Every structure is written in structure tokens, then in C-alpha cells.
Amino acid sequence: MFRIKSLSIVLFVLCVAVPKTTFAKPPPAYIFWWGVEKIVKVADLPNHINYQGKSFDLGYIYKRFTLLYFIPLWSYDGRYCGYVGPGRDYVILENGDAFVSEMERAGIDIPSGSPISFMDRFGLLVILGVFLLLCVLGGLGQQDSEISHATDDTLEGEGSSQAASNLQNGWYFIAEGQEIGPVSAKQLKALAEKGLLKYDSQVRRATQDQWYQASQVPGLF
């Protein structure tokens, strides 16, 4: 029974595989590399599955678009093939999906899911995500610097009597998770006019502990 099953597998291989090996395309010499073929091994196959006396395992070949060859952006045109070892040569399978189904019916364990690595599939999204995150963090840092600078400018030159008045009648506000103040009502309005204090920014009077939105302060906006 095993010999019959083995014979059927060999006959199926002859039907779905091209009787030759070929080579993966070499990469072009550019900043952006496209059409670069990469071959990965998917599963081990029995030794009696061979081509022209050369055994092969199940592999997967796909093309990549990369930056400087080392940074994958995305992949395309993937298909199953015969994996014959490290290098660029592989066995062409006319119907790779049918070949995989036949191997599974023969009891060979084929891993589920995509054989393509995470970075080869989503490299572009990862790079864009990191870039956007850096932009957001940079923008928040710049905004925090602007708020601190604007606050320092509004406080600069005030006398001790005004500073003492702020302690009694001034305002505190939250910027980038930090409590800043006390500032006078005039200074608070100046920050709002510069766009450094938002409608939903948290503010409180110096004599109170309760915080509320800046939009609730009459005449601030």
C-alpha cells in the first residue's frame, strides 16, 4: 500500500513539475530594487520525490521590492516551488497549490499560513508607522518647547508684586502632561491666542483644586 501511495506521489510530481531547474533572478543594481526573487524552504519532502534523480523539498519563491536591497518594502508574485538547497536554483511547479494539496493528502505536514516573512510582507507599513511615530513625537516635543518658551516669555519681566498676585488670582494649566503656572489671566489668554492652549486643555484657578476645560473660561477664546 505504501509503495502504491509513493508511486502515485511520484506520478503526480511528474504531472505538476517542469522537467528542469531554473534560477532566481539576480538583483538589479539600483537604490530601489524590484523583482528580486527570494526562495524559502517550507517543508521537508520524502527523498523519493525528486527530479532527474535530484531530491527537492517544498519551497516558496516570491518577488520583493526593497530599498538598498536590505530593507524590504513589500512582496508580490509568490508561488510554491521545489526547494533544492541554498542558492538561486529551484524546481518549477506548474500547479503549486495542487502539489501542496496532494502532499497533504499523502500525510505530509505542510505549515499553514503565509511562508513569506513578516517584514517582507509588511515592511513598508512598518517603516511608514515608525516614520509617522517619529513625526508625532517630534511634533509633541516641539509643541512642548513652544509652550515652555511662550510661558517664559509671558512671565519674563514681571515684578514680584505681579508674581505674588498670580499665586492668589492666577491660573494653572496642563501641557504635555505637566502642570504649568501660575500665570495671569492675560498670560493665559495670550497662550490661547497663540494656539498653545486648546479648547480641551485642562486649567484651574490658583486658589482651587478642580480642573476643567479651557473652553469653560469666559472670554478666553
Name the CATH topology of 145-216. Answer: Dna Ligase; domain 1 (3.30.1490)
pTM above 0.85, yes or no: no
Mean pLDDT of 81-102: 84
Encode burial over 113-129: b for 16+ CB neighbours within 10 A, e otherwise: eebbeebbbbbeeeeee
Confidence band for 145, pLDDT divided at 50, 70 and 90: low
Mean pLDDT of 162-181: 72
Q: What are the residue ranges spanned by the domains of the chain? A: 2-116, 145-216
